[in-house]
């Protein structure tokens, strides 16, 4: 299956993002085994070559979940996020207003939303896309998850942030935040 046939016509923005992020996250093994090809390979390689927040933004944009004049298929930086600025994706008060404090709360989040990880010093550590039922997809996931990789857009169990990985690599000083995807302009 290619991404062109993956997304049903008329799907809402969050569902489009969820479907594409899930598909690209499932391509991790095929890419490692050199069995991925065509449009899937092209987009997968692109997502895997970017900083985590740019990868999440590109996936959301490619699925037509968000609008942005800054995002392109060829740019390596979109200028919409950095480790010191997560506000354009999550808003200025994300840690206060959009914090995810438990696995139960994570499981109740809308599918196809942005998931961010912000340190106690307000440094943006990581960004992914929530697929559903606590699963997420993103690139450079090893900074938050023990079983994450440095390179490769992959699908991971986000609930581990609250359990097995709660003390991994500074996670005990990190807050998970979210931002719904509704077709907004970023």
Q: Confidence band (pLDDT; 50, 70, 90) for 2?
A: low
- What predicted TM-score, i.e. pTM, was given to this entire model? 0.97
Q: Please state, as a whole number, how many other Cβ atoms lie within 10 Å of the Cβ of residue 89.
A: 23
Q: Does residue 184 sit within a domain?
A: no
Cα gap 93→97, rounded to integer Å: 6
Counted domains in the chain: 1
pLDDT of amino acid 4? 56
Longest dimension (CA), the chain: 44
Cα gap 12→8, rounded to integer Å: 9
Q: Does residue 53 sit within a domain?
A: yes
List, for residues 141-169, the tens digit of each pLDDT value: 999 999 999 999 999 999 999 999 999 99
List, for residues 70-118, the tens digit of each pLDDT value: 999 999 999 999 999 999 999 999 999 999 999 999 999 999 999 999 9
Q: Does residue 23 sit within a domain?
A: yes
Q: Does residue 6 sit within a domain?
A: no
116 Rama sector, left if φ>0, alpha if ψ -120 to 50, beta otherwise: beta
For residue 1, pLDDT beyond 60: no
Q: Does residue 159 sit within a domain?
A: yes
Q: Does residue 106 sit within a domain?
A: yes
List, for residues 26-72, the tens digit of each pLDDT value: 999 999 999 999 999 999 999 999 999 999 999 999 999 999 999 99
Q: Does residue 186 sit within a domain?
A: no
**Residue range of the domain that includes 98:** 12-68+80-179
pLDDT of amino acid 91? 95
Which residue has 């989040």 as its token pair?
109
Q: Does residue 119 sit within a domain?
A: yes
């Amino acid at each position: 299956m290619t991404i062109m046939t993956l997304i049903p016509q008329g799907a809402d923005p969050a569902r489009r993002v969820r479907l594409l992020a899930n598909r690209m996250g499932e391509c991790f093994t095929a890419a490692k085994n050199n069995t991925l090809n065509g449009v899937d390979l092209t987009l997968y390689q692109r997502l895997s070559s970017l900083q985590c927040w740019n990868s999440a933004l590109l996936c959301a944009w490619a699925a037509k979940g968000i609008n942005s004049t800054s995002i392109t298929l060829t740019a390596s930086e979109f200028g919409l996020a950095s480790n010191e600025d997560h506000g354009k994706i999550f808003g200025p008060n994300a840690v206060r207003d959009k914090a995810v404090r438990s696995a139960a709360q994570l499981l109740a989040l809308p599918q196809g939303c942005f998931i961010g990880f912000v340190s106690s010093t307000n440094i943006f550590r990581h960004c992914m896309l929530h697929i559903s039922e606590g699963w997420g997809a993103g690139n450079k996931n090893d900074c938050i998850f023990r079983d994450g990789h440095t390179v490769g857009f992959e699908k991971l169990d986000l609930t581990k942030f609250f359990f097995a990985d709660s003390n991994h690599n500074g996670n005990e000083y990190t807050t998970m935040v979210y931002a719904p995807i509704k077709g907004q302009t970023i």
